[in-house]
Amino acid sequence: MAEKPSIAIGQVMENRSVAPGHFLLTIRLPLSFATPIPGQFVMIRDPDRDEPLLPRPISVYGFQREEGHAILNLLCRVAGRGTSLFSRMNRGGALTVLGPLGRGFTIDPDVRQLLLVAGGVGAAPLTFLLQEGSLPEPHSGKRQVTAYLGAGTAELLTGLNRFEGFCDLRTATDDGSRGYHGNVTECLALDLAGYDAKSTLILACGPGAMIRSLALLLRDTRIRCQVSLEERMACGVGACLGCAVAIQEGEGRTGYRRVCKDGPVFDIGELLWNSPEESMSLS
Amino acid sequence: METDKNTVVPGRLVVELCGLALKNPVMTASGTFGYGEEYAPFCDLNRLGAIVVKGLSLEPRLGNPPPRIMETPCGMLNAVGLQNVGVRAFIAEKLPFLRQFNVPVIANIFGETIDEYRRVTEILTRAAGVHAIEVNISCPNVKKGGVAFGAHPDAAAAVTEAVRGETDLPVIVKLTPNVTDITEIARAVESAGADAVSLINTLTGMSVDIERRRPHLANVTGGLSGPAVKPVALRMVWQVVRSVQIPVIGIGGISTAEDALEFLITGAKAVQIGTTNFIHPAATMEIIDGIEDYMIRHRIGCMKDLIGSLQIVF
Ligand SMILES: Cc1cc2nc3c(=O)[nH]c(=O)nc-3n(C[C@H](O)[C@H](O)[C@H](O)COP(=O)(O)OP(=O)(O)OC[C@H]3O[C@@H](n4cnc5c(N)ncnc54)[C@H](O)[C@@H]3O)c2cc1C
Ligand SMILES: Cc1cc2nc3c(=O)[nH]c(=O)nc-3n(C[C@H](O)[C@H](O)[C@H](O)COP(=O)(O)O)c2cc1C
Ligand code: FES
């Protein structure tokens, strides 16, 4: 069960550049901040600025409790004005943190093989999943975890160190500078036949194009797959209905779900792909 | 009534609105506070003056395709398109939660036809736990109904009359700013039996992604809300306050107690807080406290002495 979210004033302990346009924020929070579930996110905002107005959603990359406080890690990519300002925040700066929010990943006890598929900063929520204590134990035996990480270049494979040694690792880069030369879905496609559909679960997070190609790849298999989606948000708590994603409600009926509250994690089979232009704004 | 600084006057913030005794003049604006439940972790709902819920229609509505929102300078555009669970599901699934609290619930309603407004009103009037109806004749994001009713005095009056005839609950008509003369609409709905008017709904706006040469919103246009609209909203409240006898509820870009006070001093009997909830989930609580602090500081004993106290003297 997810614990109740709260609003906290966090303090930036460290803000480190990890690759061009990518930075890792370490934020100190009060101990009362609820423990996030992998796949959950927070809404962050600089309380000392009047703009940007709206907070920005960022996945939990790491979370620990230390003496007297909680530590939150966020892995961010500079996408526009808001994230660019976050990237320039100094140690000691204040950030309003609302969270933890949303529905995270669900791993059934019958899953023996876990495949983590990420593109770019999509690795963030999956990294948190690997963090000690976050993965529930399987019913019996050991669970195999294999990560497929993709990025533009080797340099942009951020947070790799948090995967190395914790699971089997396959990498893919668009320029071939590390691992498979091509995108991460193609890399996964090469191995897919080797996994047992019944006991395998794929957890994925990345750009819209990656999720779309993954949906296409898995269409004719029975492998379960949960994806974490991104959409522009205002409230993050399910009130504004701004973060809609089109969902298949059975028998050709369409509905909209809130990425912030009903997601961000959805079963890939629920997503509407018939008219991606209309149903998904992810690109 | 002059009171000493720091004297706690019980009920100092109480306002009477169309027969409802509100603990204070601070309500939440429709569509920005869900059905209350979403903000319960961050706000003490019992402290609110009233909760206005997301717009309800007779049948569930899908809403518009995404992207639905875009941040703009000091504001945001939205084209949610009145997605909602429908009035029956609201009563069955959302209202029981709200009934636990000692706070008036105002149901915001929407229809594509006058008959739909009438039927939604009828259903809500029979439900326990709805204290007033706010009639949205001002949504800019739907093809039929909505602003089409709000932009013409005769149509606005016809909707008001239909709702009025169906309920004994207070009827608040929510006005659109997207008209040449808002006072004309306000007077029309007053004559048709409205107990109060609330304004403003969002201002129609647009924003373009120049890299992709596409509108940012799938609906192309959307409703502008947030601090950017506050001066326009305040001006319209000022105009309407002088044009009608019924109470006026001020809405638009209120983010602080100071903003709320501007509306109250101008003559709004109550205010609604919208977009600010997204930025500061506990903003309503701070605004209530801030209004009380101001009244203590200025030795104002009751809301009556504050509301409409604007002096145009230089
Ligand atoms: C649940 C969730 C988890 C996320 N986790 C992370 C994370 O761990 N690390 C990270 O770097 N980013 C993450 N994002 C994306 C991040 O929220 C956006 O990049 C950010 O909001 C952009 O803000 P901006 O002001 O920098 O850019 P803007 O100037 O607002 O926009 C720049 C570009 O980013 C796009 N964009 C804006 N908002 C979003 C959004 N909410 N989601 C996707 N694209 C958006 C815009 O369409 C535009 O193309 C997440 C988004 C969601 C919804
Ligand atoms: C996301 C969103 C959804 C809204 N939905 C409704 C609605 O369903 N019915 C309605 O009457 N007004 C709706 N509004 C308008 C607000 O209630 C309010 O009138 C407007 O946003 C101006 O106030 P603000 O600047 O404080 O947000 C909505 C506004 C926003 C931002
Ligand atoms: S961001 Fe407001 S409902 Fe999801």
- For B:230-259, CB contacts with A below 8 A are none
Ligand 1 atom nearest A230 alpha carbon? 53
Closest ligand (CA of A237)? 3
DSSP calls for chain B: ----TT---TTTT-EEETTEEESSSEEEPTTSSTTSGGGTTTS-GGGSSEEEPPPB-SS-B--PPSP-EEEETTEEEE-----B--HHHIIIIIHHHHHTSSS-EEEEE--SSHHHHHHHHHHHHHSTT--EEEEE---TT-SSSTHHHHTSHHHHHHHHHHHHTT-SS-EEEEPPS-SS-HHHHHHHHHHTT-SEEEE--PEEEE-EETTTTEESSTTSEEEEESGGGHHHHHHHHHHHHTT-SS-EEEESS--SHHHHHHHHHHT-SEEEE-THHHH-TTHHHHHHHHHHHHHHHTT--SHHHHTT------
- Tell whether A51 is covered by a domain: yes
Domain that holds residue A97: 6-101
Q: How far apart are CA A144 and CA A115, in angstroms?
A: 8
Mean pLDDT of chain B: 93
User: Whole-prediction pTM value?
Assistant: 0.94
Is residue A225 a part of any domain in this protein? no
**What pLDDT does B9 receive?**
57
What is the pLDDT at residue B46?
96
Closest atom of ligand 3 to A233 CA is 1
Spans of all domains in chain B: 15-64+80-205+225-305
**CB-CB: which of A5, A234, A237 is closest to B69?**
A234
The answer to the question of residue A109 being in a domain is no
* pLDDT at B2 > cutoff 50: no
Ligand 2 pocket residue status of B30, Cβ below 6 Å: yes
Mutate to test the interface with B, among A49, A232, A260 (most CBs of B within 10 A): A232
Contacting residues of B for A246, CB less than 8 Å apart: 65-66
Task: Give the minimum alpha-carbon distance from A69 to chain B in angstroms, rounded to a whole number.
Answer: 20
For ligand 1, whether the C-beta of A258 sits within 6 Å is: no
The answer to whether the Cβ–Cβ distance between A240 and B278 falls below 8 Å is yes
Q: Is B74 a catalytic residue?
A: no
Q: Are A191 and A165 in contact (CB under 8 A)?
A: no
Which residue in the block uniquely carries the two structure tokens 């903000």? B39
**Ligand 3 atom having least distance to the Cα of A260:** 4
Region B156-169 average pLDDT: 96
What was the pLDDT predicted at B138? 78
> Helix B153-164 to helix B114-126 angle, to the nearest 10 degrees?
30
The verdict on a CB contact (< 8 Å) between B71 and A244 is: no
| pLDDT at position B69 | 97
Query: Residue B39 CA: which ligand is closest?
Result: 3
pLDDT at B23: 96
B79 CB-near residues (< 8 Å, 6+ apart)? B64, B68, B69, B141, B217, B218, B219, B221, B222, B223
Which chain B residues touch A57 with a CB distance below 8 Å?
Answer: none
B76 and A279: CB-CB below 8 Å?
no
Q: B145: Cβ below 6 Å to ligand 2?
A: no
> In this complex, is the C-beta atom of A46 within 8 Å of any C-beta atom belonging to chain B?
no
HEC secondary structure over chain A: CCCCCEEEEEEEEEEEEEECCEEEEEEEEECCCCCCCCCCEEEEECCCCCCCCCCEEEECCEEEEECCEEEEEEEEECCCHHHHHHHCCCCCCEEEEEEEECECCCCCCCCCEEEEEEEHHHHHHHHHHHCCCCCCCCCCCCCEEEEEEEECCHHHCCCHHHCECCEEEEEEECCCCCCEECCHHHHHHHHHHHCCHHHEEEEEECCHHHHHHHHHHHCCCCCEEEEECCCCCCCCCCCCCCCEEEEECCCCCEEEEECCCCCEEEEHHHECCCCHHHHCCCC
Residue of A nearest to B30 (CA): A240
Mean pLDDT throughout B118-147?
84
Taking the CA of residue B255 as centre, how many other CA atoms within 13 Å lie in the half-sphere pointing to its CB? 18
Tokens 């609302």, located at residue: A98
Report the domain count for chain A.
Answer: 1
User: How much is the average pLDDT of B118-129?
Assistant: 96
* Architecture per CATH, B15-64+80-205+225-305: Alpha-Beta Barrel (3.20)
What was the pLDDT predicted at B209?
96
Check: CB of residue A175 under 8 Å from CB of residue A140: no
In a domain, A123, yes or no: no
**B97 is written with which tokens?**
């939660």
pLDDT of residue B5: 45
The pLDDT score that the predictor gives to residue A167 is 85
Distance CA A246, CA A263 (A): 12
Q: So what's the pLDDT on residue A158? A: 84
Question: Is A267 domain-assigned?
Answer: no
A231 is a domain residue = no
Mean pLDDT of B206-211: 96
Which residues are A146's β-sheet partners? A115, A168
Tens-digit pLDDT string for chain A (283 aa): 567 999 999 999 999 999 999 999 999 999 999 999 999 999 999 999 999 999 999 999 999 999 899 999 999 999 999 999 999 999 999 999 999 999 999 998 888 899 999 998 999 999 998 886 667 676 666 788 999 999 999 889 887 888 888 888 899 999 988 988 989 999 999 988 898 889 999 999 999 889 999 998 998 889 999 999 999 999 999 999 999 999 988 777 789 999 999 999 999 988 886 544 444 443 3
Using only the alpha carbons of chain A, give its radius of gyration: 18
For residue A35, the domain's CATH number is 2.40.30.10
Q: Ligand 2: distance of its center to the CA of A274 in Å?
A: 31
Residue bearing the CA closest to ligand 2, atom 18: B201
Closest residue in B to A97 (Cα) is B280
